[in-house]
Amino acid sequence: MSGVIQERKMEGKVKEILLKAIPLKSVEDIPRIQEDVTNKTIVILKVTPLAQKSLEELKSSVEQLYEFATSVGGDIARLGDERVVITPPGVKIWRGLQ
């Protein structure tokens, strides 16, 4: 299931920001996720499908996505035990008072 967050300004000066919830099934999903984030999409990944296959692949995938998110000026964070959120540049994740 996916949702949509829309941000609009007069005369189309700001591009829509989408929110997409998808399962991470394999490392082969990473390029598509990176493309989505590059195209102003917030991605919520359910990591359970890959975790059930291989914890090593999951760890490697999350590391790749962390490096990607930070390199493009986005953000990445864990949402509980089963999900990870990745944001495009300009969207930061609130982590509470630290």
pLDDT tens for each residue of 37-59: 999 999 999 999 999 999 999 99
SS3 of the chain: the string is CCCCCCCCCHHHCCCCCEEEEEECCCHHHHHHHHHHHHCCEEEEEECHHHHHHCHHHHHHHHHHHHHHHHHCCCEEEEECCCEEEEECCCCCCCCCCC
Which of 3.30.110.150, 3.40.190.10, 1.25.40.10, 3.50.4.10 is the CATH number of 10-87? 3.30.110.150
Mean pLDDT of the chain: 87
Task: Indicate the domain borders of the chain.
Answer: 10-87
Q: In this model, does residue 4 exceed pLDDT 90?
A: no
pLDDT classification of 11: cutoffs 50, 70, 90:
low
Q: What is the pLDDT of residue 10?
A: 43
Q: d(Cα 78, Cα 13) in Å, to the nearest integer?
A: 31
pLDDT tens for each residue of 74-85: 999 999 999 999
